[in-house]
A and B are shown apart, each in its own frame.
Chain A
Amino acid sequence: MAVLTYREALNRAMVEEMEKDPLIYLMGEEVGHYQGAYKVSQGMLDKFGEARVIDTPISENGFAGIGVGSAMVGLRPIIEFMTWNFSLVAIDQIINSAAKMNYMSGGQFPMPIVFRGAGGAGGRLGAQHSQAFESWYAHCPGLKVVCPATPKDAYGLLKSSIRDNNPTIFIESEVLYGSKGEVPEQEYTIPLGLGEIKRKGTDITIVTWSRALSFAEEAAVILEKEGISVEIVDLRSLRPLDENLIYESVKKTNRAIVVEEGWPVAGFGAQISHLIQKNVFSYLDHPVERVTQMDVPMSYAANLERMSLPNANRVADTIREMLR
């Protein structure tokens, strides 16, 4: 078992897949000479050359569109957005072209494309650069949405995403790039749509993904000292969604809380909450709760940013209230 950072795990996944399949290429701002804005593509330019690791100007709509077109003619692009905040410039390419191409062509144009990059809040990047957009993309049928929380998951899920013949929105958390975790040395993949119980417990189920897993885990540790046993379901991908994993857990604990980094209104947690009440209604002993980012643009000030984001104490307080 090697200990890798989240960015190293992503790098290893891309390198392994690109070594196997010459049709795969990486394109985006600073992916080549600069070794990646977040150093995820470290060493890849040297390894694969400029034809397969392509630096672009600041032109998301352009290079996302090139990616979609190249996928239509048989290449397998990995499009890196420096951050998902910039994907908004390319959202027409993602929503109107990538997500619908296979459908609108009656299956003639599969779309084996991965859009990846940093999502969520980084730390003092301000309102325009601190947004979690997984709910936006999960809203659109035709896209797969993947949100790994650990190096091990990042590696296995990115490999599956690259191999998938559908457009995949692969959202990495900006603050997780440096986080370390054990990654098996042997090659493996994690199927999309397979969540994981990150912690076993009996009193309450936290449903979460990506960076918010860390808030959940911290809260679980705090609550354990108070005799509250928390089960954590890490979804790992929002589309496809491992619904049964959620239901089985809630059937056991009778309570559920969704912890997510994004805003509350129309956030993906609302969908999960709906599914829980619809499918395991009789097992619920308390309404499903959510802990989300505050319903405001992200502050620039560090202290306000901390208050705006979900955190372990907010999660623990809500759970205490639910179990009162």
Chain B
Amino acid sequence: MAKIQEMTQLSPTMEEGTIVKWLKKEGDSVSPGDILAEVETDKAVMEMEAYDSGVILKIIQGEGTKLKVGEALAVIGKPGEDITSLLTNLPKKSPGSTQTTTSETPKEVVPSTPNVGTKETASKETSNLQTQAVPQSQTTTQVPTPTLPKETTNGTPSVPRGTLRVLASPLAKSIAIEHGIDLHKVIGTGPEGRITKKDVLDTLTQGIGTTSGGFDTQVSDEVISLNGMRKTIAKRLTESKQNLPHFYLNVDVNAKALENLRKEINDFQTAQNPESPTKVSLNDIIVKATASALKLHPKVNASFQGDSILQFGRIDVGIAVSIDGGLLTPVIRDANRKSIQQISIEVKELAKKARERKLKPEEFTNGTFTISNLGMYGISRFTAIINEPESAILAVGSVEDKPVVENGAVVVGRILSLTLSCDHRVIDGAVGAEFLKTLRSLLEKPNLLLAVG
């Protein structure tokens, strides 16, 4: 009995995936665990395994196709098995999935369901943006809501097909398509509320009204369509900033001892292994100190759960790593129990994997606290947005020469500025302040790190 291989959820936040590469072809034998294809999720390119054994009888979706989780990818069964009825009964690809142009044309064998015209408002004219009824998939009763505009790998948004009829001039439509503007969000000022070229251009310039002829269309704006990661960043950080009552605590740390410790460790490493010493960064020590401070302040190492607060037993510190086109937060598990050297090795390795988009979901999810360090960019201090479902994030600036008062005299100090963003539902001001006070002590007297776990 042939079985449908579906798009599997490869990461907790994955809603859809794009087939990057088929590693098997029709006629190949597979058994559970064999890698069928490479799939790009919202975070990374992952390997998709087969979960049935047999022969690939049919590859339903070709490379470059974007599919929702649960949609059919391929059919696996016995050689020569008749799968016509199986294919005929497949639900139509949801409108959330898009075909993209790749060198290999995706194979579409699903017979298209005839479109049923929807009722539309009484109008003398018909529009080519008239919506089509979305055929309900047979496996779900939920009519997918289209996300607009569609992103494809070649960066061309497709024509939005919404649930409302959009009244727009052909020119307005073509400009909207060119710039990836969702016409549903444009206010039409033309006759009968029709969206005109001017309306679309006004939207492009973020509502700055342009007068006819005053808009210089010679200098065209570049529209960068969102990749999966960008969409995820946009969605999650907007939710965090909107839903979490952030407050911020800032503290300056005397970093002299920290810098000395780093030098000592690195000198020691060089002596141990002159060929390739494992050099540590200030950030590696900060990760260790933060994990130790979290151990002492479990209230900060927690998550708001709606009707309760979850205090994590583990201390898993995420490190924000900037990669091309976005950022990821690989996690150092049990950071409080690891040596600074071990943390350093893991951070380097994870950051490399992140930049190569090779991180597995378990390597960048389920942290309990995050550190974001912009010191290497010369940023003195900044505030970071909490990485939900965590309750706090530490923003680390650069170490700078600043005048400090020591024993009644002004001297040059090495100052590191830390800002803790807290979710007030979980962490009160005093709790955050106590945590920061501890962290400051550990950073200013890093010998203490030997005393706490």
Contact = CB atoms under 8 A, between A and B. Distances in A.
A283 interface: yes
Contact of B171 (A203, A229, A282, A324): A282
Interface residues of A, number: 13
A285 B174 contact: no
Contacts of B190: 285-286, 324
15 contacts: A203-B212, A203-B213, A254-B197, A281-B170, A282-B170, A282-B174, A283-B170, A284-B169, A284-B171, A285-B170, A285-B197, A286-B196, A323-B212, A324-B190, A324-B191
B291 interface: no
B172 interface: yes
A324 B198 CA distance: 11
B196 A285 contact: yes
Interface of A: 202-203, 229, 254, 281-286, 321, 323-324
B128 to A, nearest CB: 9
Contacts of B173: 282
Nearest to A323: B212
Interface string B198-213: 1000000000000011
B58 to A, nearest CB: 38
Given A285-B197, A286-B169, A323-B212, 6 more contacts: A202-B213, A229-B213, A282-B170, A282-B171, A284-B171, A285-B169
A281 B169 CA distance: 9
A254 B212 contact: no
Interface centre among B169, B172, B173, B212 (most CB of A within 10 A): B169
B415 to A, nearest CB: 59
Interface string B201-239: 000000000001100000000000000000000000000
Nearest to A254: B171
B135 to A, nearest CB: 28
Contacts of B198: 285
A271 B173 CA distance: 24
B188 to A, nearest CB: 11
Contacts, number: 33
A283 B170 CA distance: 7
A284 B212 CA distance: 15
A285 B217 CA distance: 15
A270 B213 CA distance: 29
Contacts of A229: 213
A320 to B, nearest CB: 12
A323 B213 CA distance: 12
Contact of A283 (B171, B196, B212): B171
Contacts of A203: 212-213
B209 to A, nearest CB: 15
Nearest to B197: A285
Interface in B155-181: 169-174
Contacts of B174: 282-283
CB-based closest 10 A-B pairs: A285-B171, A282-B174, A285-B169, A285-B197, A281-B170, A284-B170, A285-B196, A282-B170, A254-B171, A284-B171
A121 to B, nearest CB: 31
Contacts of A284: 169-171
A324 B193 CA distance: 11
Contacts of A324: 190-191
Interface centre among A254, A323, A324 (most CB of B within 10 A): A254
A183 B169 CA distance: 42
Contacts of B213: 202-203, 229
Contacts of B196: 285-286
Interface string B413-430: 000000000000000000
Contacts of B212: 203, 323
A305 to B, nearest CB: 30
Nearest to B169: A285
B278 to A, nearest CB: 61
Contacts of A282: 170-171, 173-174
A203 B173 CA distance: 19
A274 to B, nearest CB: 15
A283 B212 CA distance: 16
A267 B124 CA distance: 22
Given A202-B213, A203-B212, A254-B197, A285 B172 contact: yes
A202 B211 CA distance: 13
B156 to A, nearest CB: 15
Contacts of A283: 170-171, 174
A268 B197 CA distance: 28
B200 to A, nearest CB: 10
A284 B169 CA distance: 6
Nearest to B171: A285
A281 B191 CA distance: 18
Contacts of B171: 254, 282-285
Contacts of B191: 286, 321, 324
A191 to B, nearest CB: 32
A279 to B, nearest CB: 12
Interface in B1-39: none
A202 B213 CA distance: 8
A224 to B, nearest CB: 13
Nearest to A281: B170
Nearest to A322: B191
B277 to A, nearest CB: 63
Nearest to A286: B169
A321 B191 CA distance: 8
B126 to A, nearest CB: 13
Nearest to A251: B171
Nearest to B128: A281
Contacts of A321: 191
Contacts of A281: 170
B186 to A, nearest CB: 13
Nearest to B190: A286
A47 to B, nearest CB: 54
A78 B232 CA distance: 77
A228 B165 CA distance: 31
A283 B173 CA distance: 9
A323 B197 CA distance: 11
Interface centre among A203, A286, A321, A324 (most CB of B within 10 A): A286
Nearest to A228: B212
A323 B171 CA distance: 14
Interface in B59-96: none
